């Protein structure tokens, strides 16, 4: 009882003295409206039924039914890889394929599968590749490596999810052969000056099966099999998939889409 009386007396005396209340003391000084930004309002993008499905503003590059969005890199004729059961399987005889359209910056989703019963080792085991920009025939461009890296030793900057011979992936997130894998990639194209020199280098962020494997990595140039990387000026470029010459069974792709970014 004594305590209650004491507290009451303290409260009354502080009010009488004009002290701020507890609630007033918690409120920061200044006008919160000064730091509110109302425009521009972001565009509404309706997500897919799952995070793997294309959202409303995506360009669908392969929906499992046909290769209408693709051509053969070699002769720009029809892409002749094998479409069946909602997936496309590499036909190594016909070579790399690439998109008809060209892109600069984008967010891309792609799924790939090493066949169960894959054979070979090192770089000769399910080798393919996602070229984030195809700057010419053959393997010219910037390759995010595709390989069976499930219990398969190779050089670390050439395993799955490496930026080929430039960036070791931050983790090995491989699923077993026979299971589908996902890549989510954010590609920021290099910018060149008028004289062809690099104004700002390319950057890539990538997730492999939801695991961060490249964190805004700054590329040193195109990914080369031999020798140090070097930049070659380009503006927009197709996206390319690799038909690697190794003798192991061919890999498959499905559900490929992208969203162009400013």
Q: Please work out the total of residues on this chain that contact Mg ion, with binding judged by CB under 5 A.
A: 3
224 close to 230: Cβ distance less than 8 angstroms: yes
- Give the torsion sign (CA, 171, 176, 177, 179): negative
- Residue 165 or 254: the one with the smaller Cβ distance to Mg ion is 165
Dmax over CA atoms of the chain, in Å, equals 95
In the chain, what is the straight-line distance between the N-terminal and C-terminal CA atoms, in Å? 69
Where b means 16+ CB within 10 Å and e means fewer, 72-104 reads bbeeeeebebebeeebbbbebebbbbbbeeebb
Q: Report the 3 state secondary structure along 124-186.
A: CCCCEEEEEEECCCCCCEEEEEECCCCCCCCCHHHCCCCECCCECCCCCCCCCCCCEEEEEEE
- Residue 96 or 99: the one with the smaller Cβ distance to Mg ion is 96
- In the complex, minimum distance from the CB of residue 104 to Mg ion, in angstroms, rounded to a whole number: 23
- Residue 163 or 202: the one with the smaller Cβ distance to Mg ion is 163
Interaction with Mg ion in 230-259: which residues (CB under 5 A)? 242
- In the complex, minimum distance from the CB of residue 158 to Mg ion, in angstroms, rounded to a whole number: 8
- In the complex, minimum distance from the CB of residue 128 to Mg ion, in angstroms, rounded to a whole number: 6
- Residue 79 or 130: the one with the smaller Cβ distance to Mg ion is 130
- Residue 54 or 112: the one with the smaller Cβ distance to Mg ion is 112
- In the complex, minimum distance from the CB of residue 55 to Mg ion, in angstroms, rounded to a whole number: 28
Q: How far apart, in whole angstroms, are the C-alpha atoms of residue 172 and residue 156?
A: 10
- Residue 237 or 243: the one with the smaller Cβ distance to Mg ion is 243
Q: Residue 210 is encoded by which pair of tokens?
A: 């939801």
Compute the C-alpha angle 167/170/171, nearest 5°: 125
For residue 129, state whether it binds Mg ion (rule: CB under 5 A): yes
- In the complex, minimum distance from the CB of residue 35 to Mg ion, in angstroms, rounded to a whole number: 48
- Residue 58 or 174: the one with the smaller Cβ distance to Mg ion is 174
- In the complex, minimum distance from the CB of residue 262 to Mg ion, in angstroms, rounded to a whole number: 30
- In the complex, minimum distance from the CB of residue 240 to Mg ion, in angstroms, rounded to a whole number: 11
Q: Which residue is nearest to Mg ion (CB)?
A: 129
Q: What is the rounded (10 degree) CA torsion for 145, 175, 185, 196?
A: -10
Q: How far apart, in whole angstroms, are the C-alpha atoms of residue 80 and residue 30?
A: 65
- Residue 127 or 252: the one with the smaller Cβ distance to Mg ion is 127
Q: Residue 113 is encoded by which pair of tokens?
A: 């599968």
Region near Mg ion per CB under 5 A, out of 96-104, 106-114, 127-135, 177-185: 127-135
177 close to 115: Cβ distance less than 8 angstroms: yes
Region near Mg ion per CB under 5 A, out of 63-71, 102-110, 122-130, 168-176: 122-130
Region near Mg ion per CB under 5 A, out of 46-54, 97-105, 124-132, 217-225: 124-132
- In the complex, minimum distance from the CB of residue 47 to Mg ion, in angstroms, rounded to a whole number: 31
Beta strands 70-72 and 97-99 are: antiparallel
For residue 190, state whether it binds Mg ion (rule: CB under 5 A): no
Binding residues for Mg ion (CB under 5 A): 127, 129, 242
């Amino acid at each position: 009882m004594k305590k209650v009386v004491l507290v009451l007396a303290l409260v009354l005396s502080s009010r009488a003295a004009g002290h701020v209340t507890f609630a007033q003391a918690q409120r920061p000084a200044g006008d919160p409206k000064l730091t509110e930004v109302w425009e521009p309002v972001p565009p509404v993008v309706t997500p897919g039924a799952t995070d793997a499905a294309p959202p409303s503003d995506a360009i669908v590059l392969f929906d499992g039914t046909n290769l209408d969005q693709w051509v053969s890199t070699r002769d720009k004729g029809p892409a002749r890889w094998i479409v069946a059961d909602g997936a496309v399987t590499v036909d190594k005889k016909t070579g790399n394929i690439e998109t008809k359209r060209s892109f600069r910056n984008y967010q891309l989703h792609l799924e790939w599968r090493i066949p169960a019963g894959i054979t070979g080792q090192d770089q000769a085991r399910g080798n393919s590749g996602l070229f984030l920009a195809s700057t010419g025939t053959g393997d010219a461009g910037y390759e995010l490596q595709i390989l069976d890296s499930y219990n398969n030793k190779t050089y670390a900057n050439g395993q799955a999810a490496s930026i080929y011979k430039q960036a070791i992936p931050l983790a090995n997130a491989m699923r077993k052969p026979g299971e589908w894998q996902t890549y989510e990639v954010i590609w920021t194209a290099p910018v060149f000056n008028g004289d062809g020199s690099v104004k700002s280098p390319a950057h890539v962020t990538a997730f492999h099966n939801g695991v961060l494997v490249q964190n805004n990595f700054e590329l040193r140039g195109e990914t080369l099999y031999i020798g140090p990387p070097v930049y070659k000026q380009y503006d927009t470029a197709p996206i390319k998939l690799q038909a690697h010459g190794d003798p192991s069974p061919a890999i498959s792709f499905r559900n490929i889409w992208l969203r162009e970014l400013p």
